[in-house]
Amino acid sequence: MENELKGLQVYKFGGASVKDAAAILNLCRIVRDFGPQGPLLIVVSAMGKTTNALEEIYDLAYHGRDYSAQLTALKNYHQLAHEALCHQLAKYAQRFGTEHSPIKIFDELSQKLTHILGSSNYDEGYDQIVSYGETISAHIVADALASFELSRTVFWQPASHVIQTNSTWREGRVDWKATEREVRDSANTLFDSSNTIVVTEGFIGGTADGRTTTLGREGSDYSAAIFAYCLRAESVTIWKDVPGLLNADPKIFPDTVRYPEISYQETIEMAYYGASVIHPKTLKPLADRQIPLRVKSFVDPAAEGTLIHDCQHPPLAPAFIRKTGQVLLSLESKDFAFISEENLEVIFGALAQARLKINVMQNSALSFSVCLDGEPTRLAQAVAALRTQFKVQYNEGLTLFTIKNYTPGSIAQLLAGRSVLLEQRTRSTFQVVVKE
């Protein structure tokens, strides 16, 4: 059967591209008009802002508070989309909506929520509830495609059965060997002809003993890469509401430019510095197997987009990357001692212990500064540990800007009217921490 997987393509549709009936119909048209002739695996995110809504519902349920209004609103939102699709798709086929009405899935979710109160592990319970967003959306999309794409067979594959992770709740670590085996086995069964489309959930994995995990917020891109890696896909396409990989977020910077072609290496670095267009874990599995990644617009699917692959290119336009919610932590030794290797060991130990992520660091003779993601509980833990040895000061609510491939002009443009708390540059990268 391996032959049926030859030339497999993976499409990933994020929340905005499945946010309502019109968006899902647009997805169906993209598959029909732009999709490959051969086998296609579609990875979908939860509809619109569903994951945020489920996080809120879960948190209320966990703390024994009333979540019924929020749950009803979320159910109605999915029902409405489903009914509109039934109406629209009636012209293609009668069978839409008979198998996977969201009502059944919401009943199951409601049932689960009633057992949440008092459950011991917050993060484990989170994965059991918040994963429903992707499950509902994958069902609805699979059903819509089955009705729309009359000439193709559509199957639904639960991701928790095949993407095997450990039990690091909310950030499951993939067991690549087991995942590759499971994904390949199931694909060999499902893709019984090259005419098949399989729809699965992004964001979700499962432990060996069958409990659902999630891969971290915005993790559906990563899911697409995991499937592509395991199935040695020909390519991955991420369909987004932007025309490709841009050098800056158009909501923040005017005059953005699109990179038509860019290397894995450059893209990995941009994602690392906080460019939000692609989940940072996505690139490595694709680069490992030399699988090209396309970023395309679901609003303008005929447009070129961006091709990310192994390539050489001339110097790129400077990329502006903004990371908000930063904390600048400054440490000084209490007795005017120099910052030494022994001190650094203590500092890194305390930060690692609190699972804080260092984004920039700088030291002078008597002080050491780090810019971190501002996670209040983790910060408090680290500060308490460090106060025993250092004078600790910190400044919250800051923004870290990174310019990759900077030019003098791009730095001047960024710094105009901003006051800088910390600045650093290497040969290719310029970083500043500012108060906005």
Amino acid at 267: T
Q: Least Å distance between CB 217 and Mg ion? A: 8
Tally of CB atoms within 10 A around 373: 18
When CB distances are held under 5 to 8 angstroms depending on the partner's kind, the choice from ligand ASP, Mg ion, none that residue 133 binds is ligand ASP
| Interface pattern 124-143 for ligand ASP (x via CB under 6 A) | ---------x----------
Does 131 bind Mg ion (CB under 5 A)? Our answer is no
Q: Least Å distance between CB 391 and ligand ASP? A: 39
Tokens for 41, please give them.
């695996």
Q: Least Å distance between CB 15 and Mg ion? A: 4
Does 280 bind Mg ion (CB under 5 A)? Our answer is no
Does 203 bind ligand ASP (CB under 6 A)? Our answer is yes
Tally of CB atoms within 10 A around 44: 30
Which residue lies nearer to ligand ASP by CB, 203 or 229?
203
Total chain residues near Mg ion (CB under 5 A): 2
Which residue lies nearer to Mg ion by CB, 46 or 422?
46
Helix (H) or strand (E) holding 399: strand 390-404
Does 15 bind Mg ion (CB under 5 A)? Our answer is yes
Q: Least Å distance between CB 91 and ligand ASP? A: 30
Which residue lies nearer to Mg ion by CB, 45 or 131?
45
Among 149, 218, 266, 269, binds ligand ASP (CB under 6 A): 218
CB 93 within 8 A of CB 106: no
Q: Least Å distance between CB 427 and Mg ion? A: 35
Does 383 bind ligand ASP (CB under 6 A)? Our answer is no
Q: Least Å distance between CB 267 and ligand ASP? A: 17
Q: Phi then psi for 417, rounded to 5 degrees?
A: 75, 10
Q: What b/e sequence results for 336-363 when a residue is b if at least 16 CB atoms lie within 10 Å of its CB, and e otherwise? A: eeebeeebeebbeebbeebebeebbbbe
Does 46 bind ligand ASP (CB under 6 A)? Our answer is yes
Interior angle at CA 354, CA 349 and CA 358, nearest 5: 75
Amino acid at 167: S
**Quick one: 367 exposed, middle or buried, by C-beta within 10 A (0-12, 13-18, 19+)?**
middle
Could you give the residue ranges of the DSSP H alpha helices within 169-219?
176-190
CB 21 within 8 A of CB 81: yes
User: Which residues, other chains included, contact 91 with Cβ-Cβ below 8 Å and sequence gap of 6+?
Assistant: none
Q: At what angle do helices 68-89 and 50-62 cross, to 10 degrees?
A: 150
Residue 336, helix vs strand vs coil: coil
Tokens for 162, please give them.
């095949």
| CA distance linking residue 334 with residue 351, whole number of Å | 19
Does 237 bind Mg ion (CB under 5 A)? Our answer is no
Q: Is the dihedral of CA 130, 132, 135, 138 positive or negative?
A: negative
When CB distances are held under 5 to 8 angstroms depending on the partner's kind, the choice from ligand ASP, Mg ion, none that residue 219 binds is ligand ASP
Among 211, 217, 232, 309, binds ligand ASP (CB under 6 A): 217
Which residue lies nearer to ligand ASP by CB, 13 or 368?
13
Q: Least Å distance between CB 279 and ligand ASP? A: 7
Span 20-59, contacts to Mg ion by CB under 5 A: 45
Which residue lies nearer to Mg ion by CB, 15 or 305?
15
Which residue lies nearer to ligand ASP by CB, 81 or 403?
81
| CA distance linking residue 311 with residue 435, whole number of Å | 37
Does 48 bind ligand ASP (CB under 6 A)? Our answer is no
| Interface pattern 16-45 for ligand ASP (x via CB under 6 A) | -----------------------------x
When CB distances are held under 5 to 8 angstroms depending on the partner's kind, the choice from Mg ion, ligand ASP, none that residue 203 binds is ligand ASP
Which residues face 296 on adjacent strands?
239
Which residues face 235 on adjacent strands?
9
Closest of 44, 419, 352 to residue 200, by C-alpha: 44
**Quick one: 59 exposed, middle or buried, by C-beta within 10 A (0-12, 13-18, 19+)?**
middle
Q: Least Å distance between CB 197 and Mg ion? A: 22
Does 220 bind ligand ASP (CB under 6 A)? Our answer is yes
Among 102, 219, 243, 292, binds ligand ASP (CB under 6 A): 219
182 alpha carbon, distance to own chain's centre: 22
Among 5, 8, 9, 14, binds ligand ASP (CB under 6 A): 14
Q: Least Å distance between CB 44 and ligand ASP? A: 9
Which residue lies nearer to ligand ASP by CB, 31 or 138?
138
Residues that bind Mg ion (CB under 5 A): 15, 45
Residues that bind ligand ASP (CB under 6 A): 14-15, 45-46, 51, 133, 202-203, 217-220
